[in-house]
Amino acid sequence: MIGHNVRAFDQDLSDLSGKIGEMSRLAEKQVTAAIEALEKRDAALARLVIAEDSQVDALQRDIEEKAVATIARRQPVAVDLREIVGALRIANDLERVGDLAKNVAKRVLLLSNAFPPNSVMIQLHRMVELVLGQLTTVVHSYQRHDVASALEVWRRDEEIDALHNSLFRELLTYMMENSHNITFCTHVLFCSKNVERMGDHATNIAETIYYIEHGQPLQEERPKADLASGATPPALQAG
């Protein structure tokens, strides 16, 4: 009977891990499509990103229901309970990544026909590549219980911050050079901030993996690359 219960609980954990992987793939797809919509000014694609966010939300609800049912049936303790709590935390972070992709798509619908300088899109693409790489790596780390790999993701968040800060300064320059650029550049700044926040959620997941395995929060201070002139202005703190 005990062996049966252990196998059943392992299957519950495996099901949660599979749903986390599916949710991650959907969220990453949303991010890719949102940036493509931004680059191409594709309003139809932007609307599709917004509409499909409900799929990510539905998976989060499935994970929550599965986690609650597993706790009620198995009454896990110690690392087993942390596994389930960790899955809930990770699902919440992935849901936020989907929301941030939706925020970018909403910005696309507000943009005029103005086109950003090529260097702007190159930097934004680089940010997105880093974020997607971080998300893929950290979710695989969760599924493999690979704390070392998760900590590498945690340490690399600074690279995404640095790119966001560089893009922030470049867009400010364009706004100062020509007042006609202000509206468009402001929208792109919000998009960049949303991408930077996605990186923060990948870092959150890395911290959750550490918690699952060690039973305590990561004590080190999270590495961040601040703007030379200080923190991001309050106007850019919301997406």
Cα–Cα distance measured from residue 97 to residue 26, given in angstroms and rounded to the nearest whole number? 10
- What is the tally of structural domains in the chain? 1
pTM score of the predicted model: 0.89
Cα–Cα distance measured from residue 148 to residue 3, given in angstroms and rounded to the nearest whole number? 31
- The length of the chain, given as a count of residues: 239
pLDDT values of the chain reduced to their tens digit, one per residue, 239 residues: 455 477 888 899 999 999 999 999 999 999 999 999 998 889 999 999 999 999 999 999 999 999 999 999 888 889 899 999 999 999 999 999 999 999 999 999 988 666 666 788 889 999 999 999 999 999 999 999 999 999 999 999 999 999 999 999 999 998 999 888 888 889 999 999 999 999 999 999 999 999 999 999 988 877 776 654 444 444 444 44
User: Do residues 90 and 20 touch, judged by C-beta distance below 8 A?
Assistant: yes
User: Do residues 131 and 35 touch, judged by C-beta distance below 8 A?
Assistant: no
For residue 147, give its domain range.
2-236
pLDDT given for residue 236 in this prediction = 47
pLDDT given for residue 48 in this prediction = 97
Facing residues of 227 across strands? 230
CATH number, domain with residue 55:
1.20.58.220
Cα–Cα distance measured from residue 48 to residue 32, given in angstroms and rounded to the nearest whole number? 12
- Per-residue pLDDT tens for 141-181? 999 999 999 999 999 999 999 999 999 999 999 899 988 88
